[in-house]
């Protein structure tokens, strides 16, 4: 008896592949390098702490989006400062529980609603780090718009 065929999709989603590298030397010093060759020293006391890289990646990804979106909206952004306050468990493996972002956008005639919309677009559509983290931890934000 012939079995009925099980539907298997031949569709393969296109995915971007990225690679980062880490080198360690015997003096207990780590260097992380991206595929473009940019380096970050990773080590408490002699570089950025490795757990700080996660919130840093989130604010870097989101900030890039916000600047690009506001530029396309012809908003005259002159400065963007973003900080991230992360809450982690007190015991190993020190899981992240929450990240709160504070955006401070400065410019001439900035529309606060457009700044909020740019952040929302980053969160909902463009920021890969946010998309990856949003179901795993609580991410909140606040915004301050300053006239310069």
Question: H or E element: which one contains 119?
Answer: helix 112-121
CB 66 within 8 A of CB 125: no
Tens digits of residue pLDDT in 108-135: 999 999 999 999 999 999 999 999 999 9
Tens digits of residue pLDDT in 47-60: 898 899 999 999 99
User: What pLDDT is recorded for position 12?
Assistant: 59
Give the pTM. Answer: 0.85
Cα 63 to Cα 53: distance, rounded to the nearest angstrom:
15
Model confidence at 3, pLDDT cuts 50, 70, 90, reads very low
User: What pLDDT is recorded for position 38?
Assistant: 93
Domains present along the chain, CATH in parentheses = 16-48 (no CATH), 50-147 (3.30.300.20)
Cα 90 to Cα 147: distance, rounded to the nearest angstrom:
40
Name residues whose C-beta falls within 8 Å of residue 97's C-beta, 6 or more positions apart in sequence: 87, 88, 89, 137, 138
User: What pLDDT is recorded for position 16?
Assistant: 81
């Amino acid at each position: 008896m012939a079995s009925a065929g099980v539907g298997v999709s031949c569709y393969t989603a296109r995915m971007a592949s990225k690679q980062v590298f880490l080198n360690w030397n015997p003096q207990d010093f780590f260097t992380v390098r991206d595929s473009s060759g940019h380096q970050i020293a990773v080590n408490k006391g002699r570089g950025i702490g490795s757990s700080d890289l996660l919130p840093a990646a989130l604010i870097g990804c989101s900030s890039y989006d916000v600047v690009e979106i506001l530029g396309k909206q012809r908003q005259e952004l002159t400065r963007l400062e973003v900080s991230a306050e992360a809450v982690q468990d007190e015991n190993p493996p020190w899981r992240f529980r929450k990240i709160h972002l504070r955006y401070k956008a400065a410019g001439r005639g900035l529309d606060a609603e457009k700044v909020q919309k740019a952040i929302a677009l980053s969160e909902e559509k463009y920021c890969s780090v946010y998309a990856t983290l949003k179901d795993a931890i609580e991410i909140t934000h606040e915004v301050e718009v300053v006239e310069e």
